[in-house]
Amino acid sequence: GDSVTQMQGQVTLSEDDFLFINCTYSTTWYPTLFWYVQYPGEGPQLLLKVTTANNKGISRGFEATYDKGTTSFHLQKASVQESDSAVYYCVLDQGGRALIFGTGTTVSVSP
Amino acid sequence: EAAVTQSPRNKVAVTGGKVTLSCNQTNNHNNMYWYRQDTGHGLRLIHYSYGAGSTEKGDIPDGYKASRPSQENFSLILELATPSQTSVYFCASGDEQYFGPGTRLTVL
């Protein structure tokens, strides 16, 4: 079945560091992919959406790139702030059903 | 922006008891979803619905029932709660899934 894999469970950074989170997916077609962010005490919220038509998404300083050749979908930010501390989920759209969430990457940014 | 609310926000239940978690959305979305969130598993889909009167099984439906009496409301029902169902439960609505704030359930 369809799946997404986030190998990095925890990332610890200082402010102004570069953030890179790796995600790979497995499916028999070309899905729409998302990054969701979850702040403490809240539900997940949509950060970025990338389709096969555009291959890249940008929002709030974050950039996600979709590589169909390597079935990867990375999230990056050039300079993180303490307020970026959160859990980031790579998510695959099954097309009409529900979303498949990765296990999440906890990003901790110290001032 | 879509508004999704959940009640209760926190619940302590006893093993074997019945628990009902409620979700309400005000954005007239057809699709609604129930997930549970556990450390090491991310979010896992329990049940979902395409509209009033519809419920579908997700990836981990065992031990849970769902009810969608109206466009706005979607409930998750644990008929016989067990300690393994201790978790944080999230409701979401819409194709791009606006999430509620979650319900923390503890089954003793």
| Region label for B30, one of left (φ > 0), alpha (ψ between -120 and 50) or beta (otherwise) | alpha
**What is residue A96's predicted lDDT score, i.e. its pLDDT?**
65
**What is residue A80's predicted lDDT score, i.e. its pLDDT?**
97
**What is residue A3's predicted lDDT score, i.e. its pLDDT?**
86
Mean pLDDT by 10 residues, chain A (111 residues): 88 97 86 92 91 83 88 93 96 80 94 93
Query: Which chain B residue's Cα is nearest to A101?
Result: B43
| Contact assignment for A102 to B42 by CB distance below 8 Å | yes
**What is residue B1's predicted lDDT score, i.e. its pLDDT?**
57
**What is residue A98's predicted lDDT score, i.e. its pLDDT?**
75
**What is residue A72's predicted lDDT score, i.e. its pLDDT?**
87
Q: What residues of A are in contact with residue B99 (Cβ under 8 Å)?
A: 43-45
pLDDT by residue for chain B (108 residues), tens only, comes to 559 999 999 999 999 999 999 999 998 999 999 999 998 788 999 999 999 999 999 999 999 999 999 999 999 999 999 999 999 999 999 988 899 999 999 999
| 8 A C-beta contact, residue A100 and residue A6 | no
**What is residue A8's predicted lDDT score, i.e. its pLDDT?**
87
Q: What residues of A are in contact with residue B43 (Cβ under 8 Å)?
A: 44, 89, 101
Cα–Cα distances in angstroms (integers) from residue B77 to residues A37, B61, B86, B93, in the given order? 27, 11, 14, 18
| 8 A C-beta contact, residue B73 and residue B7 | no
Q: How far is CA A61 from the centre of its chain?
A: 13
Q: How far apart are CA A53 and CA A42, in angstroms?
A: 31
Instruction: Spell out where B1-108 has E strands.
Output: 4-7, 10-13, 19-25, 32-38, 42-49, 56-57, 65-67, 73-78, 87-93, 98-99, 103-107
Q: How far off is chain B from A88, nearest CA to CA, in Å?
A: 10
| Contact assignment for B44 to A41 by CB distance below 8 Å | no
Report which of A105, A110, A82, A94 is spatially closest to residue A35, judged by C-alpha positions: A105
Q: How far off is chain B from A48, nearest CA to CA, in Å?
A: 11
Q: What is the 3-state secondary structure (H, E, C) of chain A?
A: CCEEECCCCEEEEECCCCEEECCEEECCCCCCEEEEEECCCCCCEEEEEECCCCCEEEECCEEEEEECCCCEEEEEECCCCHHHCEEEEEEEECCCCCEEECCCEEEEEEC
β-pairing, A56-59 vs A3-5, is: unpaired
Chains A, B: CB pairs < 8 Å: 40
Report H helices in B20-91: none
The pair of structure tokens assigned to A21 is: 């989170």
Q: How far off is chain B from A78, nearest CA to CA, in Å?
A: 26
**What is residue B33's predicted lDDT score, i.e. its pLDDT?**
95
Report which of A92, A68, A81 is spatially closest to residue A19, judged by C-alpha positions: A81
